[in-house]
Chains A and B, each alone.
Chain A
Amino acid sequence: MEILMSIVVGILFTIATYLVLSKSLLRIIVGTGILSHAAHLLILTMGGLKQGAVPILSENAKSYVDPLPQALILTAIVISFGVTSFFLVLAYRSYQELGTDNMDQLRGNKSYE
Chain B
Amino acid sequence: MNNFVILPILLPLLTGIFLIFLARKVNAQRVVSLVSAIISIVIAISLVIEVKTNGIQVMQASSWDAPFGISIVADMLSSLLVLVTSIIVFSVLIYSFKHIDEGRERFFYYPLVQFLIVGVNGAFLTGDIFNLFVFFEVMLMSSYVLLVIGGTKIQLRETIKYLLVNVIASALFVVAVALLYSVVGTLNIADISQRIAEIDQPAIITVIAILFLVVFGLKGAIFPLYVWMPGSYYAPPIPILALFGALLTKVGIYSILRTFTTLFYHHPEYTHSIMLYLAILTIIFGCIGVLAYMDVKKIIIYNIVVAIGVILFGISIMNTESLAGSVMYTLHDMLIKSALFLLIGMMIAKTGTSNMKRMGGLMHQYPFLGWLFFIAAISLAGVPPFSGFAGKLMIIQGAFKAGHYAGGLIVLFSSLIVLYSVMRIFIYAFWGEKKEYELAPEQKKDTRFLLLPISILIAVSIAYGIGSEAVYTYVSDAVQVLTNPSDYIQAVLKE
Identify the A interface with B (CB < 8 A): 20, 25, 28, 32, 35-36, 38-40, 42-43, 45-48, 68-69, 72, 75-76, 79-80, 82-83, 86-87, 90-91, 93-94, 97-98, 106, 108, 111-112
The answer for the CA separation of A112 and B231 in the assembled complex, in Å, is: 9
Contact B167 A35 (CB under 8 A): yes
Q: Give the nearest-CB partner of A94 in chain B.
A: B156
Q: Which of B137, B145, B167 has the most CB of A within 10 A?
A: B167
B234 at the interface (CB under 8 A from A): yes
Contact partner, A90, options B163, B174, B177, Cβ 8 Å: B163
Contact partner, A93, options B151, B161, B234, Cβ 8 Å: B151
Mark out the residues of chain B between 394 and 449 whose CB falls within 8 Å of any chain A CB in the assembled complex: none
Number of interface residues of B (CB under 8 A): 36
Q: List 30 A-B contacts (CB under 8 A).
A: A35-B171, A39-B178, A40-B174, A42-B175, A42-B178, A43-B181, A46-B179, A46-B181, A47-B178, A68-B181, A69-B178, A72-B177, A75-B134, A76-B133, A79-B137, A79-B170, A80-B170, A83-B163, A83-B170, A87-B163, A90-B156, A90-B159, A94-B160, A98-B156, A106-B161, A108-B154, A108-B158, A108-B231, A111-B154, A112-B298
Q: Chain B 95-126, CB within 8 Å of chain A: the 1/0 string?
A: 00000000000000000000000000000000
B141 at the interface (CB under 8 A from A): yes
Question: Chain A residues with Cβ under 8 A from B7's Cβ?
Answer: none
Q: Give the nearest-CB partner of A32 in chain B.
A: B167
Identify the B interface with A (CB < 8 A): 130, 133-134, 137, 141, 144-145, 148, 151, 153-154, 156-161, 163-164, 167-168, 170-172, 174-175, 177-179, 181-182, 187, 231, 234, 295, 298
Q: Give the nearest-CB partner of A108 in chain B.
A: B157
Contact B156 A112 (CB under 8 A): no
The answer for the CA separation of A68 and B130 in the assembled complex, in Å, is: 11
| Closest CB in chain B relative to A102 CB, distance in Å | 12
| Closest CB in chain A relative to B149 CB, distance in Å | 12
| Total cross-chain contacts (CB, 8 A) | 99
Can you list the 9 inter-chain pairs with the closest CB atoms, starting with the nearest? A46-B182, A94-B156, A43-B178, A39-B174, A46-B178, A39-B171, A35-B171, A32-B167, A79-B137
Contact partner, B130, options A32, A39, A75, A87, Cβ 8 Å: A75
Question: Chain B residues with Cβ under 8 A from A93's Cβ?
Answer: 151, 156
The answer for the CA separation of A78 and B235 in the assembled complex, in Å, is: 28
Question: Chain A residues with Cβ under 8 A from B161's Cβ?
Answer: 106
Contact A28 B164 (CB under 8 A): yes
The answer for the CA separation of A94 and B177 in the assembled complex, in Å, is: 33
| Closest CB in chain A relative to B301 CB, distance in Å | 11
The answer for the CA separation of A43 and B153 in the assembled complex, in Å, is: 38
Q: Give the nearest-CB partner of B182 in chain A.
A: A46
| Closest CB in chain A relative to B230 CB, distance in Å | 9
